[in-house]
Amino acid sequence: MAKDKYHELVKTSLENDGWTITHDPYKIMLGKRRGYIDLGAEKGMIAAEKENERIAIEVKSFLGSSDLDDFEDALGQFLIYWKALKIKDPQRVLYLAVPQSYFERFFDDAFFVETAKEFDVKMIVYNETKAQIEQWIK
């Protein structure tokens, strides 16, 4: 399984943000096939809560020749993993990790902002040069 260019940077960014990486990768069945979401992570909640917050993260570098093609591929993969998580681990929230430069140039178009909202695509916007999460889009 090939890792995206920024896999380790996103992993470190999450750890720097207080997350514990629990899966690298997070293996999941897609019907009869095996899939691999890039990362699984947990973060302890306040003492009054009974459960930890659990997420799965699909890391994307978006380095292809077409921003649109990259988004189409990422959206399709996101939706397939979302469906599989809904069955296997419904408490875990799926996020698409998106580099800040791509987010700024692609999501300046209201059509794609609305498309992401329509499909409930949650995103982690990460800085490609620092191990830092810039934005959580829920």
CATH number at residue 125: 3.40.1350.10
Query: What are the pLDDT digits (tens) for 83-133?
Result: 999 999 999 999 999 999 999 999 999 999 999 999 999 999 999 999 999
**12 within domain boundaries:** no
**51 within domain boundaries:** no
**1 within domain boundaries:** no
**56 within domain boundaries:** no
Q: Identify the domain containing residue 39 by its residue range.
A: 17-44+62-100+108-137
**27 within domain boundaries:** yes
Torsions phi, psi for 10 (to 5 deg): -65, -40
Torsions phi, psi for 123 (to 5 deg): -130, 150
**113 within domain boundaries:** yes
Crossing angle, helix 67-88 and helix 110-118, to 10 degrees?
10
Rounded to two decimals, what is the model's pTM?
0.93
**112 within domain boundaries:** yes
Count of structural domains, the chain? 1
